Structure 1
Amino acid sequence: MTAESSTEGLQPPRTLDGQLCFALYSANLAMGKVYRQLLAKLDLTYPQYLVMLVLWERDGITVSELGERLFLDSATLTPLLKRLQTAGLVARTRSTLDERQVIVTLTDEGRALQSKAGDVPTGVFCASGCDVETLVSLKRQLEMLRGNLADSAGS
């Protein structure tokens, strides 16, 4: 069944509350408020936290690899990395193999921050008011939606 044949006869919603994009947008705003509260004690913004999560998974990656992982371009990522470097959490160095590439590594302070950030996922889970199975299912569905939309947009 194609997307076109599965929607025959259906009229798309015309109200704000009927829009999937608004449900995602407003949920993102609410999620952002929760993260702001949880990350304040770490002195991190949400995008900075995402960068740190990637580096805690795999330290010493290129800026381009980091951008691919976070779906961010270098123009967005570079100021984030500069602020994290100024805060003493990461270091940026040119690759010795290809000086066009910049390698991002955690400092000792950046590594130490990982244990301080351990309560963040639990805080988000508690704030959601959902059980684990619901959140795992929702995450899976959102990843599928993201993939479908990226495929549709040709990216």
Structure 2
Amino acid sequence: MTTPATDWLRLDQQICFSLNAASRAFNGVYRVVLKDLGLTYPQYLVMLVLWEHGELPVKKLGERLRLDSGTLSPLLKRLEAAGLVRRERSARDERSVEVRLTAQGVALRERAGEVPRRIAGATGLDLAEIQDLGARLNRLTAALDAYGTGSPAASS
């Protein structure tokens, strides 16, 4: 039995599968590239946010990374055990825990400088294509978030 190319129930017609496959492929490349830094991909994302923003409350860090505290806490615990970050209760709000880089965490930034170049090279895309893809994925994420919250933007 042949299936028409417009059969929307074919696996190759599922954008979610394409995104998932690309994500898994990215994770494999990141595993190799980050090995020398001693970081996993999720740990690398935490470090990126801290290198960019400095000290942050755990809640803000989780919002920025789109991770819940149950996922973020073990990541932070491992980064703290590795001597890259420090977690401390906020002096302003006892309920809040602040995360900051240690000197070792700050120093790791220089060694991580080659990671984006190596990842870009692995994609086979040029810089303009990478930027365009990133912009499209950001629009897709915003549209899906809006749809998930029932926002009017979801119908446009």
Same fold (TM over 0.5): yes
State yes or no: 1:120 paired with 2:115.
yes
Structure 2: state its 5+ residue gaps.
1-5, 151-156
Aligned residues: 145
RCO comparison, higher one (Cα < 8 Å, 6+): 1
Q: How does 1:5-154 map to 2 (within 5 A)?
A: 13-154=8-149
- Following TM superposition, by how much is the alpha carbon of 1:12 offset from its aligned partner in structure 2, in angstroms? 6.3
Percent identity, please. 50
SS in 1 for 2:92: coil
| Residue in 1 that maps onto 2:153 | none
Q: RMSD of the alignment, in Å?
A: 1.1
TM-score, length-normalised on structure 1?
A: 0.91
TM-score, length-normalised on structure 2?
A: 0.91
Letter in 1 for 2:132: S
Runs of 4+ more than 3 Å apart: none
> What CA distance in whole angstroms lies between the structure 2 residues aligned with 1:82 and 1:23?
33
Structure 1: state its 5+ residue gaps.
1-10
> What CA distance in whole angstroms lies between the structure 2 residues aligned with 1:74 and 1:12?
40
Letter in 1 for 2:31: R
